[in-house]
Amino acid sequence: MGFDTMIVNGRVVTATDTYASDIAVSNGKIEAIGNNLPRDNAKKIIDAANRYVLPGGIDVHTHLDMPFGGTTSADDFETGTRAAAFGGTTTLIDFAIQYRGQTLRTAFDTWMQKASGRAVSDYAFHCIITDLGAAQLEEMNALVREGVTSFKLFMAYPGVFMLDDASIFRAFRATAKNGGLVCMHAENGNAIDVIVQQALAEGKKAPKYHALTRPTTAEAEATSRAIALAEMAGAPVYIVHMSCNDALEKVREARDRGLPVYAETCPQYLYLSLENMDAPGFEGAKYVFTPPLREKWHQEKLWNGLKQDHLQVVSTDHCPFCFKEQKELGKDDFTKIPNGGPGIEHRMSLIYSGGVAKGRFTVNRFVELVSTTPAKLFGLYPRKGTIAIGSDADLVIFDPKRKHTISVKTHHMRVDYSMFEGIEVTGMPDVVLSRGQVLVEGNQFRGRVGAGEFIRRATYTQQ
């Protein structure tokens, strides 16, 4: 009996090691790693010469098929996971939203229905809580037991998603006991609303006012408040989509004090800036998401944060809306532009290119940021996030030299523009496997719609 698949001649990269080795896969799992494995009876052999073999990417922040801003995000679980696969991402954690008056169970069931039978690769859920009474506090425990072990709370979007500090504190107290992890959207929504109303009254309605009405101080203040509430409750906190140095400083200080505080940033904050909002006509709407783009100097601070472990994860906050018909809903008023940008496909290449190819950090740190730490923080490790015997064979054969210019003309996301149009990256996935099955080979999709499975996650453990 031979192996189902062997990947030969590659350089295996994990968060800690880089070494030449073959990998043997059977029944969707990594069965052996070594240089003298018998190749004779392998059903399939993939030659990875001159390339890296990486653990599949894990994107812990996506919004597929999400009703928001009077419309629905343009990628569903089929098109979204497919586009992710083309970029080397093989596991997503998406957000199941509890709308006001609903149970958390309704949110979970609704998003399970959206994903099952559609996703081409594995997925899990965080639960967004917008209404937290005694019943939902109980339900948090039940969800944790069922593998939904993290909860997103909002300090922004008053009247839509925002929770008050008392509810946030209660949620932290619950996770301190049940092993969950709170993911925080940290912006001071009430202060921002005052600034927004003033801008509208002054007739400032163009897309760039979305960014100009959301100061970095609003993000830093909320980050600091979230950390304080978590500390009082004795709970960990994970700050999502961090965009600026002011907020990063709050996380760095908290981590220096030894608190279990973590943060992610996203490629848009590393590559784009406020200048993009000056695109001609209504084009600035392509970059309307929250937190907004910042002055360019923040980018290097964030890259440095990734290098120094002040930031632990890169996710995408993929929340795509087409420019035509969706972003255009806010043609006359920036507050009506659906908030979100597309990015699920290019995270791995953008971070490899800007991080490793540009000499900012090592290939091992890259793997840590895009796969291993996301897996560890969100209870997927060691099933996902590494290359080890017994782990799922979610593997990416990655060509560190291949160049690619990102464009709407070639991307696979179901959206009519690219935020990264014209940016040339160095480093692209050639072959992508999910639980041992080839998902992508060069330009070809070889996966199966519905092959993705829901992954029950373990509770949080300190990293």
Shortest reach from residue 167's CB to ligand URP, in Å: 17
Binding mask 297-336 for ligand URP (x = CB under 6 A): --------------------x-x-----------------
d(CA 241, CA 181): 16
Residues in the chain: 463
Residue 109 phi, psi (nearest 5): -60, -40
Of 116-145, binders to ligand URP (CB under 6 A) are: none
Residue in 10, 260, 340, 379 binding ligand URP, rule: CB under 6 A: 340
Any idea of the CA torsion for 234, 236, 242, 245, to the nearest 10 degrees? Answer: 60
Distance from C-alpha of 183 to C-alpha of 262, rounded to nearest angstrom: 9
Among 77, 271, 289, 454, binds ligand URP (CB under 6 A): 289
**81, 290, 372, 386: residue in contact with ligand URP (rule CB under 6 A):** 290
Tell me how far, at minimum, the Cβ of 266 lies from ligand URP, in Å: 9
- Determine, following the binding rule CB under 6 A, whether residue 215 of this chain makes contact with ligand URP: no
Backbone dihedral angles phi then psi of residue 101, each to the nearest 5 degrees: 85, -10
Residues 181 and 459: their CA atoms lie apart, in Å, by 8
Cα 27 from chain centroid (whole Å): 28
Query: Cβ of residue 332: shortest distance to ligand URP, in angstroms?
Result: 20
Footprint (CB under 5 A) of Zn ion, residues 306-345 = 317
**Secondary structure E strands in 347-423:** 395-405
- Our finding on whether 185 is near ligand URP (CB under 6 A) is yes
One character per residue 62-101, x = contact with ligand URP (rule: CB under 6 A): -x--------------------------------------
Using the rule CB under 5 A, which residue among 11, 114, 126, 185 binds Zn ion? Answer: 185
Q: 339-370 burial by CB neighbour count: b if 16+ within 10 A, else e?
A: bbbbbbbbbbbbbbbbbbbeebbebbbbbbbb
Q: Which does 59 bind (CB under 5 to 8 A by kind): Zn ion, ligand URP, none?
A: none
Q: How many C-beta neighbours within 10 Å does residue 137 have?
A: 17
Query: Are 119 and 151 in contact, with CB atoms under 8 Å apart?
Result: no
CA 301 to chain centre: 20
DSSP for residue 372: I
Tally Cβ neighbours within 10 Å of residue 221: 19
Name which of 277, 296, 278 is nearest 287 in CA terms.
277
3 state DSSP class of 28:
coil
Binding partner of 327, given Zn ion, ligand URP, none, CB within 5-8 angstroms per partner class: none
Residues 392-451 that bind ligand URP (CB under 6 A): none
Contact set for ligand URP, span 230-269 (CB under 6 A): 241
Give me the least distance between CB of 379 and Zn ion, in Å please: 19
- Tell me, by CB under 6 A, how many residues bind ligand URP: 9
Going by C-alpha positions, the residue among 420, 260, 312, 362 that lies closest to residue 60 is 312
Taking the complex as a whole, the smallest distance from the CB of residue 400 to Zn ion amounts, in Å, to 29
Q: Build a one-symbol-per-residue string for 261-300: x at contacts with Zn ion by CB under 5 A, - elsewhere.
A: ----------------------------------------
Residue whose CB is less far from Zn ion, 93 or 235: 93
* Residue (6 or 285) nearer to Zn ion, CB: 285
Q: Report the residue number, 319 or 387, with the smaller CB distance to ligand URP.
A: 319
Q: Which residues contact 224 (CB under 8 A, 6 or more apart)?
A: 250
Neighbours of 277 (CB within 10 A): 23
Stretch that binds Zn ion, among 11-19, 37-45, 51-59, 183-191 (CB under 5 A): 183-191
Task: Name the closest residue to Zn ion (Cβ).
Answer: 185
Is 246 strand, coil or helix? helix
Can residue 207 be called a binding residue for ligand URP (CB under 6 A)? no
Q: Which residues in this chain contact ligand URP in the complex, by CB under 6 A? A: 63, 185, 241, 289-290, 317, 319, 339-340
Q: Which residues in this chain contact Zn ion in the complex, by CB under 5 A? A: 185, 317
